[in-house]
């Protein structure tokens, strides 16, 4: 069982290449190396190793002219603010998106509903967090392309399984605007022993700022008073992600 105080470095597969999503030229899936194709990655590493965008790409099956299916999936996740937004969308809203149509829209909603029902019947199937890469797999595609900063709190149980990842703030994320009570509200209500704080940098550069480090200090101190461990603070961006714990920023002595 993973230790609650920290997260080990991942020894699993690398995340999906972000450069193909940023570049003007987006190759077809068949043009990508086999190790980067979603279906092959799932076959080799299992579904849990794939990002939300890759899993959605498998459901969509095909992209459109000038946009491969992973790019299309990433665009949809960004447009609807992640999986929760996609799940709330109607068939009409999804069908109106470029190159989606009714067939793909119904496939998306059917898959999300199956996932919802599975979670309701088998709570032990919730994803585990063993490393920052696991958080990136869950949230990078949802948050990396957002035009504003969004801050989420990943709620964990005693086994480091994800209970939820509610968004608690949108705007400029810094220590003067974030209310600590808002950030820990859901964790206190759900009785969570630990959390991971996640926010994005719209600039595309995941390098933590001085404000990010200062906020991490404050959140760890507040969490200590509430008996809630802040295991990590992770910054996501188009160019990847950074774990402040791994960098020793805001987590002295680790």
In a domain, 178, yes or no: yes
Domain boundary among 72, 105, 123: 123
pLDDT tens digits, residue range 14-62? 554 444 444 444 666 666 676 778 888 888 888 888 888 899 999 998 8
> Could you tell me which of 159, 221, 157 has the C-alpha nearest to residue 195?
157
Tell me the whole-structure pTM to 2 decimals. 0.58
Rounded Cα–Cα distance for residues 156 and 160 (Å): 5
Mean pLDDT on 162-185 = 81
Rounded to an integer, what distance in angstroms lies between the CA atom of residue 187 and that of residue 227?
Answer: 11
3-state class (DSSP) for residue 81: coil
Q: Kindly report, residue by residue over 63-111, the tens digit of the pLDDT.
A: 888 788 888 998 999 889 888 888 889 999 999 999 899 999 999 999 9
d(C-alpha 155, C-alpha 183), whole Å:
11
The tens digit of pLDDT for each residue in 113-169 reads 888 777 666 556 678 899 999 999 888 878 888 888 999 999 999 999 998 888 888
Q: Give the CA count within 13 Å in the CB-facing half-sphere of 53.
A: 30
How many C-beta atoms lie closer than 10 Å to residue 173's C-beta?
21
Domain end point (choices 74, 102, 123): 123
pLDDT of 226 over the 80 cut: yes
Nearest to 199 by CA among 127, 239, 146, 161: 146
Please state the rounded mean pLDDT for residues 187-214: 94
Q: Is residue 234 part of a domain?
A: yes
Burial environment of residue 30 by CB neighbours within 10 A (0 to 12, 13 to 18, 19 or more): exposed
At 147, which CATH number?
3.40.140.10
């Amino acid at each position: 069982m993973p230790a609650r105080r920290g997260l080990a470095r991942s020894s699993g597969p690398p995340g999906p290449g972000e450069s193909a999503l940023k570049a003007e030229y987006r190759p077809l899936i068949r043009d990508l190396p086999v190790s980067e194709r979603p279906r092959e990655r799932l076959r080799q590493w299992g579904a849990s190793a794939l990002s939300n965008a890759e899993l959605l790409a498998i459901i969509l099956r095909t992209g459109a002219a000038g946009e491969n299916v992973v790019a299309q999936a990433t665009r949809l996740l960004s447009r609807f603010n992640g999986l929760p937004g996609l799940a709330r969308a109607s068939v009409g809203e999804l069908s109106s998106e470029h190159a989606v149509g009714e067939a793909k829209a119904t496939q998306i909603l059917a898959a999300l509903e199956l996932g919802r029902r599975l979670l309701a019947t088998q709570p032990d199937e919730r994803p585990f967090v063993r490393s920052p890469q696991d958080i990136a797999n869950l949230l990078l595609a949802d948050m990396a392309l957002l035009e504003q900063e969004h801050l989420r709190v990943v709620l964990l149980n005693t086994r480091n399984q994800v209970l939820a990842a509610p968004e608690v703030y949108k705007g400029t994320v810094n220590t003067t605007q974030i209310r600590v009570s808002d950030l820990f509200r859901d964790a206190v209500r759900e009785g969570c022993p630990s959390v991971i704080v996640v926010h994005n940098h719209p600039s595309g550069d995941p390098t933590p700022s001085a404000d990010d480090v200062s906020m991490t200090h404050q959140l760890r101190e507040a969490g200590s008073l509430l008996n809630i461990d802040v295991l990590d603070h992770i910054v996501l961006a188009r160019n990847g992600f950074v774990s402040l714990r791994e960098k020793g920023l805001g987590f002295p002595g680790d």
